[in-house]
Structure 1
Amino acid sequence: MLWSGRIMSGLFAAFLLIASAAPKLVNARVATEPLAALGWPPAYAPMIGMVELACVILYLIPRTSIFGATLTMGLLGGAMATQIRVGNPLFSHILFSIYLGLFMWGGLWLRDPQVRAIFPWRRSMPEAA
């Protein structure tokens, strides 16, 4: 479970860094044009990229991983709200943040026993007393 969680967390972090944060940090057109289409000023790209980078770093450090995951969910929630506001398709755009969040939390759940204690996996419902 530990290695599966590390691999999932690493894939999530690599995706967020390579596909999202890095293009924003260098103010690449691949990042600024979609932001403009969503109604965000392209000048915000580096700042959003720095926030994404900070969230990923906090998520990857074991002592701050839950805090990083919580901050990342806030970031993903803002992205989802933007997609809703512009009326993009549900399953491909609006829910993409949920898909990423589930993958992120799944990796953390697999690698952190404290998270598993908070969110236990139950095979069946316990019988009523």
Structure 2
Amino acid sequence: MTVIAETAPVSNPARWMGRALSGLVILFLMIDGAIKLVPWPVVTETMDRMGYGSSDALMRGLGAVTIVCTVLYSVPPTSILGAILLTGYLGGAMASHVRIGSPLFTHTLFGLYLGLMLWGGLWLRDKNLRNLIPFRR
């Protein structure tokens, strides 16, 4: 017989903290995706420094992927799928920064910081995720 422990309901302050964290992540990633859709010189120069060339098509493709994954994350029924896809995206960004030797704490680990906020916000606002990944006292 399998017994599944139910987690205690999360308080309103914790739920609002989760929404605030998720909102910051969503805002940042939507802006990041949007600036990649516009061929601004600063974005193409950064892509070139990262070793991806200054291709407008690649830049726009990455912008579209970022926006689609962020929208999936922001909609409750698909939020876990969006979080998984964004985790992969952020991991790729971190790998790119490692490859070109970017500063560790400000550039390379920024994807980790954003990923922790992404999953932390989702964990605080999604009961299903709290049931799947319970933290015991």
Answer whether contact 1:21 1:50 (CA < 8 A) is retained. yes
Distance 1:89 1:26 in 2: 26
TM-score, normalised via structure 2 length: 0.84
Q: Which runs of 5+ in 2 are unaligned?
A: 1-13
The answer to whether residue 70 in structure 2 is matched with residue 59 in structure 1 is no
Q: Which consecutive segments of 4 or more residues in structure 1 shift more than 2 A?
A: none
Structure-1 residue corresponding to 2:38: 26
Distance 1:121 1:83 in 2: 32
Give, in angstroms, the shift of residue 78 of structure 1.
Answer: 0.6
The answer to whether residue 111 in structure 2 is matched with residue 97 in structure 1 is yes
Structure-1 residue corresponding to 2:23: 10
Give, in angstroms, the shift of residue 108 of structure 1.
Answer: 0.3
Match of 2:47 among 35, 55, 72: 35
Give, in angstroms, the shift of residue 31 of structure 1.
Answer: 1.6
- Bigger mean CA deviation after superposition, 64-73 or 110-119: 110-119
Q: Which runs of 5+ in 1 are unaligned?
A: 124-129
SS at 2:135's partner residue? coil
Q: How many residues align?
A: 122
- Bigger mean CA deviation after superposition, 83-92 or 102-111: 83-92
Give, in angstroms, the shift of residue 30 of structure 1.
Answer: 2.6
TM-score, normalised via structure 1 length: 0.89
